[in-house]
A and B are shown apart, each in its own frame.
Chain A
Amino acid sequence: AQKVTQAQTEISVVEKEDVTLDCVYETRDTTYYLFWYKQPPSGELVFLIRRNSFDEQNEISGRYSWNFQKSTSSFNFTITASQVVDSAVYFCALSEPNAGNMLTFGGGTRLMVKP
Chain B
Amino acid sequence: GAVVSQHPSWVICKSGTSVKIECRSLDFQATTMFWYRQFPKQSLMLMATSNEGSKATYEQGVEKDKFLINHASLTLSTLTVTSAHPEDSSFYICSARWGDFQPQHFGDGTRLSIL
Residues of A within 8 A of B (CB): 33, 35, 37, 42-45, 47, 50, 91, 97, 100-103, 105-108, 110
Contacts and interface: CB of A to CB of B under 8 A. Distances in A.
A43 B109 contact: yes
Contacts, number: 48
Contact of A106 (B43, B95, B97, B107): B43
B84 to A, nearest CB: 19
A35 B102 CA distance: 12
Interface residues of B, number: 21
Contacts of A102: 34, 46, 49
B101 A107 contact: no
A103 B49 CA distance: 11
Interface in B57-115: 91, 93, 95, 97, 100-101, 103-109, 111
B44 interface: yes
A44 B100 contact: no
Most A-side CB within 10 Å, residue of B44, B49, B109: B44
Contacts of A100: 49, 100
B103 A35 contact: yes
Question: What 4 A-B pairs have minimum CB-CB distances, sorted nearest first?
Answer: A45-B106, A44-B108, A43-B109, A105-B43
B108 A107 contact: no
A34 B43 CA distance: 16
A54 B95 CA distance: 25
19 contacts: A42-B108, A43-B93, A43-B108, A43-B109, A44-B106, A44-B107, A44-B108, A44-B109, A45-B95, A45-B109, A97-B101, A100-B100, A101-B97, A102-B34, A102-B49, A103-B95, A105-B43, A105-B44, A107-B43
A42 to B, nearest CB: 7
